[in-house]
């Protein structure tokens, strides 16, 4: 048997006769891919959409730390092409069914010189783009190896408009810049973004993915990645003269990019393209490139809305910590309370009562556990144990009270960046959640990462986030990860990984200059391309909500409602304080009504940086919910109602910007109207500067 295995491995590592160098091709619809070895034996690819170039001939390859890599010269051993067309159903999501239709081209390559290592490049061509990845077959010449660089390029044909944030190793929480590629320079923004706790962006011409591009010839192009597992996050270095983008991988603590062992593979590099902006948002290419669910029984995974003890701490009304410092002790050695601790039993009950009255399923509580007096800034490993509450948080009483009210509690596990400490506490933390009936947890990684020297978006942490999803699944807990690597469609493989932050959320309106009015029109084309975001919408008090009185949320109230449709998440927070909602319960009704799981989604109108109108069909119901938003400019948005069932009458409740509404001068002006509509009608939505509109459609006469 051992001799037989040896012969198999020997055959796997043996050179084969080279085939001609191409070109090889694959296509579907308007999307065409070509592969070839250039004169130097370097692998290249190109992508076209109809007659328009998307990516000109661009290098492929992987550089290794230990000897010759896959940067050429290589020889072509062979290739295969196959077609696939299937349909699958997500556990939750924006649509009920997803079609997975592609043509696949697999290219087998070998180093021309010894040791003759082999590499496969796999391309999948969809009607809306291309995905490709590197695969390393089992072979004697390649066991354990270290990736020192990835040589993937995207040679763009022109100086496109780009929507980008700096390529930072530790954060994706910058606001977006809209510029030509030739103007990319992230250094000033990185330096100025002092509200972001941890920043490391050594290359001023590096941008994060997803990168949204618009060509002057009318094409929209989105570049990202899918199924990022056991590999660092992809960033792109912009050559401002040639408009060539080159892969930049987030390094580990010793400067390498990835430690691998063949057989293995990289994440998919994704290019989504269309001549219509709505098609970019409707694409399921990234989800399709991820593996099916590794969780066999998914019946316990339930989307939900929630309120929480959170915004009041963000705006400085209360605090996470119980005492002023870890050394503020009384004669018995006990912490002396400040009286400002938000996560106290009475206050939590207030949120539970509000949730119960309005049919909100969950309540999140941050700052409930000991450790917040010394949690940030010291690169400290053992900060939290994830099971010990402060003296004023009666976990047993709160759990009983919530259960009696029909409300579920959502756990909060802040790690202060100490991923090692969290991993040591996985079992005790999730057993604690099971004991007290917490079906969901929000995790956090504020601060520098431990293991020291690792980055939020490096290989080690990418694997950590997967380990969190797996550990939570063992205990039937769903996860919302903050300060995590930006999503790449892994919610298909681990459907309990329901949401992430990994972007500039609504919280920045609490403690910084906030985000500009066009921010939410860009985010769906960038951050949300890889998966849902816990954006925390629903702020109703848009001015004078924090001590200085100088900050304001740069939207109207109606736009905050619309975000529940345009910014998708199956874990969706109503982020403001109960008392602020109680002053506008007529508007809050939309938040109470809007679902978090859908059978259908249609992008009716979209332009990155300008406007977005999305309509969604509720799971298992003939009900539709629409959100429409704009940037700083007022707009009139016509909406054809042909998505409604023909012949059926619907009551449309329209939550719109009111007379004189304006995000700067009059953000809380709104009006609510009702009318009966059919699929033959057209609504015209009047959006104020920084404004929006939300509409619910429910059948009449059923």
The residues that are catalytic are: 507
Half-sphere exposure of residue 564: CA atoms within 13 angstroms, side-chain side: 33
Q: What share of the chain is helix, strand, coil (3-state, %, to 5)?
A: 20, 35, 45
Distance spanning both ends of the chain, measured CA to CA: 69
State the DSSP H helix or E strand holding residue 462, giving kind and residue range, or none if neither: helix 459-474
Select from 305, 596, 304, 294 the least CA-distant residue to 471: 294
Among 252, 250, 176, 185, which Cα is nearest to 210's? 176
Q: Tokens 């059923």 map to which residue? A: 702
Distance, CA of 529 to CA of 503 (rounded, Å) = 12
Distance CA 645, CA 583 (A): 35
54 touches 155 (CB < 8 A): no
Distance between CA atoms of 540 and 543, rounded to whole angstroms? 9
Comparing CA positions, the residue from 93, 110, 113 lying closest to residue 595 is 93
ω into 589 cis (within 30 of 0):
no
Write out the two tokens for 476: 């039937």
Alpha-carbon distance 565 to 615, whole Å? 7
State the CB neighbour count (10 A cutoff) for residue 244.
Answer: 19
CA distances from 460 to 96, 419, 638 (A): 34, 10, 48
What is the DSSP code string of 315-362? TTSSBS-SBSSTT-B-TTSPBPB-S-BS--HHHHHHHHHHHHHTT--E
SS (H, E, C) 162-230: EEECECCCCCCCCCCEEEEHHHCCCHHHHHHCCCCCCCCCCCCCEEECCEEEECCCCCEEEEEEECCCC
Longest dimension (CA), the chain: 83
d(CA 332, CA 346): 25
Contact residues for 504 (Cβ-Cβ < 8 A; gap 6+):
172, 173, 174, 175, 515, 519, 523
Tokens at residue 96, please?
């009920």
Strand-by-strand arrangement of the 692-699 sheet: 598-607, 611-618, 624-630, 692-699, 650-657, 670-677
| Residue given tokens 């993915």 in the structure block | 209
Residue 481 burial (CB < 10 Å; 0-12/13-18/19+)?
buried
The sheet with strand 144-150 has its strands ordered as 62-64, 144-150, 258-261
Q: CA 138 to CA 141: how far, in whole Å?
A: 9
Element (H, E) at 102: strand 98-111
Q: Length of the chain, please?
A: 702
């Amino acid at each position: 048997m051992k001799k037989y295995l040896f012969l198999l491995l020997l055959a796997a590592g043996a050179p084969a006769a080279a085939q001609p160098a191409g070109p090889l091709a694959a296509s579907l619809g308007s999307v065409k891919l070509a592969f070839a070895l250039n004169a130097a034996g370097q692998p290249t690819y190109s992508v076209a959409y109809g007659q328009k170039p998307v990516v000109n001939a661009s290098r492929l390859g992987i550089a290794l730390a230990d000897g010759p890599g896959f940067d050429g010269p290589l020889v072509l051993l062979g290739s295969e092409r196959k077609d696939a067309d299937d349909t699958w159903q997500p556990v939750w999501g924006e649509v009920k069914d997803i079609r997975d239709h592609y043509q696949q081209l697999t290219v087998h390559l070998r180093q021309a010189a010894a040791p003759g290592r082999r590499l496969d490049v796999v391309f999948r061509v969809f009607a809306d783009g291309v995905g490709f990845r590197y695969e390393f077959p089992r072979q004697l010449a390649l066991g354990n190896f270290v990736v020192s660089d990835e040589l993937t390029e995207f040679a763009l044909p022109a100086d496109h408009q780009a929507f980008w944030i700096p390529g930072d190793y530790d954060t994706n929480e910058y606001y977006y810049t809209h510029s030509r590629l030739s103007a990319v320079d992230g250094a000033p923004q990185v330096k100025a973004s002092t509200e972001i706790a941890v920043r490391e962006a050594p290359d001023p011409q590096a941008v994060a993915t997803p990168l949204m591009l618009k060509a002057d010839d009318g094409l929209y192009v989105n570049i990202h990645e899918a199924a990022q597992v056991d590999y660092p996050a992809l960033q792109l270095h912009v050559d401002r003269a040639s408009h060539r983008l080159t892969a930049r991988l987030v390094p580990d603590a010793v400067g390498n990019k990835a430690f691998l062992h063949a057989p293995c593979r990289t994440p998919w590099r994704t290019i989504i393209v269309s001549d219509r902006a709505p098609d970019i948002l409707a694409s399921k290419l990234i989800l399709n490139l991820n593996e099916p669910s590794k969780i066999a029984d998914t019946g316990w995974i339930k989307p939900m809305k929630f309120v929480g003890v959170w915004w009041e701490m963000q705006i400085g009304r209360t605090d996470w910590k119980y005492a002023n410092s870890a050394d503020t002790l009384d004669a018995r050695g006990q912490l002396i309370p400040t009286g400002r601790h938000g996560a106290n039993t009475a206050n939590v009950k207030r949120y539970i009562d509000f949730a119960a009255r309005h049919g909100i399923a969950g309540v999140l509580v941050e700052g409930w556990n000991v450790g917040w007096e010394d949690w940030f800034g010291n690169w400290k490993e053992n900060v939290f144990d994830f099971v010990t509450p402060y003296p004023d948080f009666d976990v047993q009483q709160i759990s009983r009270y919530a259960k009696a009210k029909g409300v579920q509690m959502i756990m909060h596990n802040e790690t202060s960046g100490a991923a090692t400490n969290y991993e040591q506490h996985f079992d005790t933390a999730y057993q604690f959640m099971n004991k007290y009936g917490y079906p969901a947890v929000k995790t956090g990684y504020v601060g520098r990462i431990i293991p020291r020297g690792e980055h939020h978006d490096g290989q080690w942490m990418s694997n950590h986030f997967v380990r969190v999803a797996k550990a939570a699944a063992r205990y039937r807990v769903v996860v919302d990860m903050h300060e995590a690597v930006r999503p790449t469609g892994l919610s298909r493989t681990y459907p309990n990984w329901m949401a992430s932050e990994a972007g500039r959320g609504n919280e920045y309106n609490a403690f910084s200059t906030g985000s500009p009015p066009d921010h939410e029109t860009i985010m769906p084309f960038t951050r949300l391309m890889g998966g849902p975001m816990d954006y925390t919408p629903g702020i109703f008090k848009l001015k004078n909500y924090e001590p200085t009185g100088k900050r304001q949320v740069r939207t109207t109230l109606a736009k905050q409602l619309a975000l529940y449709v345009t910014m998708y998440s199956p874990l969706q927070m109503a982020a403001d304080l109960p008392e602020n909602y109680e002053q506008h319960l007529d508007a809050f009704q939309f938040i109470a009504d809007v679902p978090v799981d859908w059978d259908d989604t249609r992008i009716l109108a979209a332009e990155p940086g300008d406007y977005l109108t999305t309509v969604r069909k509720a799971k298992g119901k003939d009900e539709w919910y629409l959100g429409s938003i704009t940037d700083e400019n007022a707009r009139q948005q016509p909406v054809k109602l042909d998505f409604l069932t023909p012949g059926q009458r619907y009551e449309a409740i329209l939550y719109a910007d009111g007379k004189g509404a304006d995000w700067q001068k009059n953000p809380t002006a709104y009006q609510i109207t009702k009318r009966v509509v059919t699929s033959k009608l057209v609504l015209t939505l009047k959006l104020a500067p920084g404004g929006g509109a939300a509409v619910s459609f429910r059948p009449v006469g059923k």
